Amino acid sequence: MTEAPEGRYATTNDDDGGGFGLCWDRKICPHLWYWQVACDGVHTATPGGGASTAWPWSHGPGEGLAAAVCWGTAPRLGPGQTIRITVHAALWEGRGSVERVTPNGALYRE
């Protein structure tokens, strides 16, 4: 995901009645990588389900860091320079869409 105006992500599983969200500085990590793996119910804790994960990233998916450097999308650090980022995560019980998760864990529903 690359076009989000803010660094935030939220998903709710209405069947299970819970959700998960992230909030981060989009200037540092403008992309969100998301994976969802479908499982047969035998090799997962969720019968018939799957697993998914998402995390902020500094460059888009593709061929890895070497390609990101070639495309000019990899962050550049000088000698001794560091970049710090805080990623806030929130878990909740409930159903229905969540529009936004804030750094203090507040939820805004649609």
User: Is residue 23 a part of any domain in this protein?
Assistant: yes
The reply to whether 2 falls in a domain is no
Q: 54 in a domain, yes or no?
A: yes
pTM for the full predicted model: 0.71
* Domain containing residue 64: 8-109
Retrieve residue 79's tokens.
């000698």
- Is residue 3 domain-resident? no
- How many domains does the chain divide into? 1
**Measured between alpha carbons, how far is 66 from 109 in angstroms, rounded to an integer?**
40
DSSP characters over 2-70: ---SSSEEEEEETTTTEEEEEE--TTT--EEEEEEEE--SSSSSSTT-EEEEEEEESS-SSS-HHHHHH
Distance CA 109, CA 98 (A): 4
Residue 100 falls within a domain, yes or no? yes
Average pLDDT value for residue range 56-68: 77
Reduce the DSSP state of residue 68 to 3 states and report it: helix
Q: What is the pLDDT of residues 74-96, one digit of tens each?
A: 888 899 999 899 998 888 888 88
